[in-house]
Amino acid sequence: MPDRTSGTSKTRMSELIDTIGILLRPFLRTRPRMIVTRLPALLLVAASLVLGACASDDDKLAPANPFRDEVPKRLQRLQADEAYRMARRSLDASDFDGAIGQYRAILLRFPFSDYATQAQLELIYANYKSYSPDSALADADRFLREHPRHPQIEYVYYLRGLIHYSRANARGDLLPWSESHTYDPTYARRAFDALGQLIQRYPDSKYAGDARQRMILLRDRLAQHDLEIAKYYLKRKAYVGASRRAEDILERFQGTSVIPETLTVLETAYRKLELTELADATASLSRANYGGPDQSVAKPAAQAADDESPEALRLPPVIDRQPAPTENPAAEDSETPTTRGGARLGDDA
């Protein structure tokens, strides 16, 4: 194919030479001394014309794109359906880093397709499984903002809570604490709030049961953290602070495993403050409900501490062959994997 830009430049240069010749013709007919006198001015005019022509040609050339699409060439040749299938195969094979790159490529090349929406959904899961909680949470929040009525919105709320829960578990927030008054259970609080949003918005969701079990454990751990602070105050003889912290635990964490020990701390603080009537009432309450300071309530189920229960989280649903998101929930009730459009819905590895 001929180079149109090169041909245009040659034509303009020929026109420029003709123009210079026309300008010089009157001077060539005059005396040589006049030519020498006016030659610098003529050369200046000619140089200006040449530079102007070059600038005009450069302006017509398309500038280099600094945001060049760096998607692999092979993926660029694929259609949206093929690109999604390839990304999903990587996800099913637990190649989470590869899947993340392919999903992002879909978002770049097909931003307004239904496959882009599905890629956003599965990108949350891929980042979660690749131990990138910050990216996963950012993707989840973006999905909730952009697709508040999506059929899989419950799944996203649950996955968001699970990401916070896994982060809390990784930091040790869910382990039995000892001398933890200086420990900041921020992630445990965030996980509790995130799972609470799911239950508040979708109380009948298929994820609600697992979310409630996790919240029970989180609530117990948060109460235990506050109890450690109350015991620390008691040890430092800050009896007012100890009593107030214990009272707060009794008000906010009823039903947790720390209530009997909290009553003991509160009774001790009252007696140190010479509040005998309150101390006696607290002791009577402890004996009536728990049979004394050595008794304790049942601990939360241990299996709730696992990041993922057997029925909790599976891979996101596979999109249909037609460019429209699937309507099936992400986690299937059946233990056997199902298929949609010939694509396998795999269990979470």
Interval 90-130: pLDDT, tens:
999 999 999 999 999 999 988 888 889 999 999 999 999 99
How much is the pLDDT for 291? 75
The total of other beta-carbon atoms located within 10 Å of residue 37's CB is 12
How much is the pLDDT for 337? 29
How much is the pLDDT for 80? 85
How much is the pLDDT for 42? 57
The low-confidence residues of the chain, meaning pLDDT below 70, are 1-78, 172-183, 292-349
Closest CA to 119 of 133, 134, 142, 77: 142
**Radius of gyration in angstroms for the set of CA atoms belonging to the chain, rounded to a whole number:** 36
**Which tokens sit at 303?**
């299996």
Strand intervals (E) in the chain: 339-340, 343-344
72-152+326-349 in CATH: which number?
1.25.40.10
> Please, are residues 104 and 123 in contact by the beta-carbon 8 Å criterion?
yes
How much is the pLDDT for 231? 94
Q: How many CA atoms lie within 13 A of 283 on its CB side?
A: 11
- Residues near 42 by beta carbon (within 8 Å), at least 6 away in sequence: 23, 24, 27
